[in-house]
Structure 1
């Protein structure tokens, strides 16, 4: 890679980006448009009824976001015309064949022009309906691959996935792929068509019995969690943000967690930088099927007790202001080093007092309904978070990133501007990152 090769590689390229309104895709799109305005075209696949709706979503949920302020400052009043020239919003959905693109002329045009496909589309909720997860995260990836194979100029497909798809492994986890049907719980084999048939049978059964939509949704979510556990996956996706926000709001004050557990965290801009560099590095090797772990657990590990200290320090100095204008005073997490200890603690601290409160409420003609409901809501929130995060609170794996380190070494040797495309986890100062970047960003852009 020569020093100019990144920009040279992107020049005159046509790129299809799926999941275009999602978190990582927006960062990728902004970076590409900012560093190489001379690309040929970006096709953004967006769930929408028609062209007009897709374009509206593109501007409302992507271009008009604060993330694009540098581009806005650079282009000024010309930004919209630049976007309309370089970016095309395509109504579609990866859960359908041909990505749900109904306009045959547009589809043929895309297949003739596209050089690169970046698949970032996925459902990232823990407990989404199993039918929706299969359609998007499994069949969707297959549909993207099939579409890419029909692109005559196709150079590369970049697919993103959570490294925690490894399940509850321990030790050093290599950058290896699974063989078709391979499962974490050997000798079980995954048959996607059998899973789809199982879902169809369950949906038909629920329809026959006249189940309400809420009941169908609940049952399909439970089925997804059940099948994930059967095959060895604890959940689908994880970020640490929900517990952090709940803690700052005073909603939770204890967690079942090993304080020495290493959390594999990586800033989103580093993920995008690694995507771009991986494309450049593999451009002349069309048969390459490289897997890159972009993480921190091997080279710059951060443990729960460190995160705990940073978060406590932040919310002590900068308390969250509740809807009544009052500061929320937080204490340190009570750390319970096993699920059994946590459930015992909750039984004494919350479950038993709630039962007593409900009894008193009945005796006093439901005078304390609001208090009971709020108490019950908080308890449910804690239990949901704990059940979802429990596998990660005791996770014992470390993600090997040998391939990523080789890519970083190639960057250094070729003279690529490291500040512009840095994805080295060793460069992260975790205290500075949490106190000055991550938590303030959550409060500004995520917390409602």
Structure 2
């Protein structure tokens, strides 16, 4: 919903003469879909600029343009009723797919259903759309794996893996298994049938990470997104397709307002934990370039691609990376310094209304040193809790909360070691 909101806002603000925008919304019925549309879009802070433009007619304008459709990319026929699907197929010119499960260590079956099979299902519907000029699929730059240097905007082909590159460069060459997407889907399905109900969620997460690493990707999210690209490329036929690969998508730079963001994005957990004084260091090289991009730049690049390739409407596949490191790089150290400077001059306040003072950030070069640091921090906080909280039950709850947060931070560090 994060990226979709920004797309909708930009289109309605800059191209008010656009016809209908059909929004596939996961809901139990039409009323529930309308309610979600109102809460998540019409009432969103992001649309205040549009609301100011249209005044009292804002809601009427939005309702005329936006059509909520009950559906789900995780279901056959996109979960749409046949009549609605037929109506949309007659009218739609451009399809934008931004649906994704972005959890790095999601259950393998869940990630496959959304990130791999979802685009394939939507492309199947696209083939029914007689007026379709373009199919635009939002992927991620991290489908390219953990590579250095200039990375070209090349599509993935069926069965292509990241591990192939490193395997062939070794002496002697290392043999790797062949990537078969159907076999991966069946593997997840078999595990779901065989695993004990209490164990299936954890085993699915472990399977996703294990399969990703087998083929050279760092986590389940980017692996399943890469397989989604493969299916789009192999099944597109004569449909003009554009794949947009943004890096870490963060808050708006300018449009429609400065700094809008929805929820906690990828880097936010580390930043917020630091700003609250809960985390004073993290694993990583201070010189590492953090590849991120404002969401309005992703939307602008996508709309430019739609304009270029939608007008031509020629069969083919075009890939675009949308990032910042080439023209405006920011290092891990720079990011931390900006946070330190800001929250030193404008500190957050704790629950008692007192300013939270943050310390200089520490960088750790290995998981061992970082784990030791987390253990020491946990022990110090536990001792402080024991000394200041007399209620035994509350003390236990606070210690358990701290322990879970420490486990989450260590897990994050293992997933995206900078």
Alignment TM-score, normalising by the size of structure 1: 0.75
Query: Cα offset for 1:368?
Result: 4.9
Contact 1:350-1:379 within 8 A present in 2 as well: no
Deviation at 1:98, TM superposition (A): 2.0
Identify which of 396, 404, 409 aligns with 1:377.
Answer: 404
1:319-373 C-alpha deviation (Å, 9 max, x unpaired): 22233333221112111123343234445x246668999999xxx9889534532
Is 1:247 the counterpart of 2:225 in the alignment?
no
Question: Partner of 2:213 in structure 1?
Answer: 229
Equivalent residue for 1:137, pick from 98, 115, 130:
115
Asked if the contact 2:191/2:200 (under 8 Å) is kept, the reply is no
| C-alpha spacing 1:355/1:227, structure 2 compared with 1 (3 Å) | farther
Instruction: Tell me how far apart the structure 2 counterparts of residues 204 and 367 of structure 1 sit (CA, whole Å).
Output: 40
d(CA) in 2 for partners of 1:204 and 1:167? 31
User: Secondary structure of 1:85's partner?
Assistant: helix
Aligned to 1:339: 367
2:59 corresponds, among 61, 64, 80, to 80
- Length, aligned pairs only: 360
Partner of 1:37: 16
Report the counterpart of residue 267 of structure 1 in structure 2.
294
> What CA distance in whole angstroms lies between the structure 2 residues aligned with 1:381 and 1:217?
17
Give 1:338-417 correspondences, 5 Å limit.
338-347=366-375, 349-350=376-377, 368-370=395-397, 372-390=399-417, 393=418
Residue 182 (1) aligns with residue 172 (2): no
Asked whether 1:125 is paired with 2:103, we answer yes
What's 1:16 paired with?
A: none
Matching of residue 196 in structure 1 with residue 185 in structure 2: yes
1:62 aligns to 2:62 (yes or no): no
Do 2:23 and 2:69's aligned partners in 1 also have CA atoms closer than 8 Å? yes
Offset at residue 248 of structure 1 (A): 1.2
Which of the residues 169, 182, 185 maps onto 2:147?
169
Given that 2:386 and 2:395 are in contact with CA atoms closer than 8 Å, whether structure 1 keeps it comes out as no
Query: What is the rounded CA distance, in whole Å, between the counterparts of 2:138 and 2:145 in structure 1?
Result: 17
| CA distance in 1 between partners of 2:382 and 2:51 (Å) | 56
Write out per-residue CA displacement over residues 216-243 of structure 1, whole angstroms, 9 at most, x where no aligned residue: 3222222222222222221226632221
Please give the alpha-carbon distance, in whole angstroms, between the structure 2 residues aligned to 1:231 and 1:357: 45
> What is the SS of the residue equivalent to 1:172?
coil
How far, CA to CA, are the matches of 1:32 and 1:255 in structure 2?
Answer: 39
Q: Describe how 1:272-351 pairs up with structure 2 within 5 A.
A: 272-282=299-309, 283-347=311-375, 349-350=376-377
1:336–1:284 CA distance, 2 compared to 1 (3 A)? same
CA RMSD of aligned residues (A): 2.4
How far has the Cα of 1:378 moved from its partner? Answer: 3.6
Relative to structure 1, is the Cα distance of residues 357 and 247 closer, same or farther in structure 2, using a 3 angstrom cutoff?
closer
Structure 2 unmatched runs, 5+: 165-175, 223-247, 249-265
Structure 1: which 5+ residue stretches go unaligned? Answer: 1-21, 394-448
- Which structure's relative contact order is higher, taking Cα pairs within 8 Å and 6+ residues apart? 1
SS at match of 1:292: strand
TM-score (norm 2): 0.80
Distance 2:61 2:393 in 1: 61
Contact 2:378/2:402 (8 A) holds in 1: no
C-alpha spacing 1:368/1:109, structure 2 compared with 1 (3 Å):
closer
Distance 1:230 1:365, change over 3 A: same
Deviations 1:183-218 (A, max 9, x none): 111244321211111111111112xx4x23xx4322
Match of 1:105 in 2: 83
| Residue from 137, 143, 167 that aligns with 1:159 | 137
Distance 1:64 1:357, change over 3 A: closer
Cα shift readout 1:385-412 (whole Å, capped 9, x = no counterpart): 212221xx0xxxxxxxxxxxxxxxxxxx
Q: Do 1:182 and 1:188's aligned partners in 2 also have CA atoms closer than 8 Å?
A: no
User: Is 1:319–1:327's contact at 8 Å kept on the other side of the alignment?
Assistant: yes
Q: Give the distance between the partners of 1:159 and 1:297, measured in 2 at CA.
A: 22
When residues 189 and 351 of structure 1 are mapped into structure 2, their CA distance, relative to the original with a 3 A threshold, is: farther
Query: Which residue of structure 1 lines up, in the alignment, with residue 127 of structure 2?
Result: 149
